[in-house]
Structure 1
Amino acid sequence: MNGRRTIGFLLLIGLVLWGCSGVHPTSNAVWIAQPEFSEVDNRLYSARIAPQKGESPYFSFFLLTLTNKSSVDLVVDWNASQYLFNGKPQGVMVFEGIDPEAVKNAMVPLDTVAPGASFSLEIMPMRLIAWSPIKEKTAAARSISPGMLPIGENGILLALRHGNGHITIPLSVRISREGLP
């Protein structure tokens, strides 16, 4: 009986150590975006999102690139823009340096892209981020940390103002993974 207890105890310790090993369950997976980016290109603008991994093994944010081809300002309305998951709006997009109070009150400042200019920004769904505590905010530290974009169709419904008109642009890619069940 004493031998069985020892073996059981060693197995239990092994399971605990394996569970606490720190290896992320997605680290052996290969994350794929199809297509690699989504783009709308016309005579007024070119809008593109490309999912990015950063330092993660999985996709965690988008690189948005917007080029104004028109002769008037193109304005990004972050308060009206939405994260899309499987074609359904899932909340606002955020980015580094954004004020949490402005997001909470739907008062995020607009970004203006002048005629002939381009604008790029790393954006992420607010529902998937973690805010750093105020005591940890320093010039060198991130104030938000992006989470994992889930398997499925991920994108943005980009809200723009052009002259007196409003434009909404749906952009999305399908994210999948290979290598894990």
Structure 2
Amino acid sequence: MFDALTEKKKKTNKKQKKLQKELNQINKVYPVTGCYTEEGFIKTKIGFKEGCFEIMDVKHFDTNIFDEKQFDYVTESHWNLQKLYSESLKEIHLNLPEDNQAQQDYLRHKIERTTNLKQLELLNNELNKLKHIEKFYKKRRTYIAIYGDTIDELHERIEMFKNASGFLEPRALTIKQKEKVLFALNNFF
């Protein structure tokens, strides 16, 4: 005997299983669930294992202008960090677009208030330079991602990392900055 409700339920179950399988495949490629904890940590899920991580900005060094002593200090400090902090971390190196919106907003504010034509011309010229820089200039940035299975474990690891990496002066990113880094990792720029 044919039962339409039972058949529909079977098809729905098959569709749900197929959808769940597709979602699990996505999780393997991109493990970020898109959620944040109350502290602003990013939640992650790989298979059935859940965890969280924090992205930290670190001090940037231009080693091209260092003398030998400065270069040795930075490389030794980085080597010591690797020895002192043995937990999982990722170094993220990105070329990100220059963000100078605050300077552009300030110049727009000055342009609105000025009455001097010569000054207006100079301000417009500077604004155009900033727009050009924002459009074409990329700056290399380095971030560190620190992982933990639980929020408490992540707090401990962040403190351990800060203690071991004083020369890098790590600081947590805002949620907006974290989203920008994650988008850049997925080549959305």
- Specify the TM-score bucket, using the shorter chain as the normaliser: 0.3 to 0.5
Comparing both structures, which one devotes a greater share of its residues to helix?
2
Comparing both structures, which one devotes a greater share of its residues to strand?
1
- Normalized against structure 2, the TM-score is what? 0.31
Rg comparison, structure with higher value: 2
